[in-house]
Amino acid sequence: MKNKNGGFTLVELFAVILIASTILIPLLSGYINNFTANNRMHERKAASSIAISSIEAFDKINYSHLFDILYSDDTDTYEAVRFDDAPIAKLQYGDCALLPWDVDEDDDIEDDEDFLQTISSEEICEYIFNLTVANRSFDENEFEVYLYPFRMTEEEKNNISDDIPETVQSEIELVPQRQEDDTMMAAMRITTRIIYDSERGNEYILNGVITSGYDSEEFFIPEESDD
């Protein structure tokens, strides 16, 4: 009788734990996976909403200021955001200081009775990179914007920097070819890249077009000098 009431052996105990674990682990992992998938879905939703907002809001920035980022001769100022050999620029939160803080007088709406304050390009830029949807915003490492011409020459496309993420490169490669005599650039393309799940490298890419809003010939690519 004493031998029979000796309790469970260690092997029996391990067997029970093993069986219980075999049942519980798949249940719990499935449970956790559902939470992760649900969370990722919300992250993606927030990323898509912010990407759409950012492209719309970039269109509110004075076009000539964005034009300067791509084409200005002042290479020292814009060196940090430009890529070599192709007119492509990458903007993040910290780059907003490149845009003017002051508001141009032309930006004010003149036909209104009272003076209406217009937000400067730098402020709009900062607000864009701080966009929040349902408590979710993306930081400097997760949210970046690429500016590039509406059309590009074959040479420019061949010189796309390898520093640009492949997903963005593939979008830029789809840009229609620019003819030699086509120099008017009253529109440029914008690609927003938001990494909403850095663990898995999931990102949201959205393309758009920004126009000058004027039917003027103000925006030309600077002619190359002979020397």
Closer of 16 and 97 to other proteins (Cβ): 16
Contact between 69 and 91 (Cβ < 8 Å):
yes
| Contact (Cβ atoms closer than 8 angstroms) between residue 35 and residue 42 | no
Residue in 40, 83, 100, 133 binding other proteins, rule: CB under 8 A: 133
45 binds other proteins (CB under 8 A): yes
Tokens matching residue 186: 């009253």
CB 178 to other proteins: min, Å: 29
Is there binding between residue 56 and other proteins (CB under 8 A)? Answer: yes
Alpha-carbon span 94 to 75, nearest angstrom: 18
Does 130 bind other proteins (CB under 8 A)? Our answer is yes
Q: Does 13 bind other proteins (CB under 8 A)?
A: no
Cβ atoms of 61 and 212 within 8 Å: the answer is: no
Q: Is 124 in the site for other proteins (CB under 8 A)?
A: yes
DSSP 22-61: HHHHHHHHHHHHHHHHHHHHHHHHHHHHHHHHHHHHHTTS
Q: How far apart are CA 190 and CA 172, in angstroms?
A: 9
Q: For residue 116, state whether it binds other proteins (rule: CB under 8 A).
A: yes
Alpha-carbon span 145 to 55, nearest angstrom? 9
Least separation in angstroms between CB 34 and other proteins: 8
Is 72 a binder of other proteins (CB under 8 A)? no
Q: 88-104: string of b/e by CB count within 10 Å (b at 16+)?
A: bbbbbbebbebbeeebe
- As to burial, measured by CB atoms within 10 angstroms (0-12 exposed, 13-18 middle, 19+ buried), residue 201 is exposed
Q: Which stretch binds other proteins (CB under 8 A): 63-71, 79-87, 118-126, 150-158?
A: 118-126
Q: Residue 42, interface with other proteins (CB under 8 A)?
A: yes
Least distance to other proteins from the beta carbon of 133, Å?
A: 5
Those residues whose C-beta lies under 8 Å from the C-beta of residue 203, and which sit 6 or more positions away, are: 47, 165, 167, 193, 194, 195, 196, 197
Residues 89-108 that bind other proteins (CB under 8 A): 107-108
> From the list 15, 17, 20, 80, which residue makes contact with other proteins (rule: CB under 8 A)?
20
Among 83, 93, 127, 150, interactor with other proteins by CB under 8 A: 127
Q: Residues in the site for other proteins, rule: CB under 8 A? A: 4-5, 16, 20, 23-24, 27-28, 31, 35, 38, 42, 45-46, 49, 52-53, 56-57, 60, 107-109, 112, 114, 116-119, 124, 127-128, 130-135
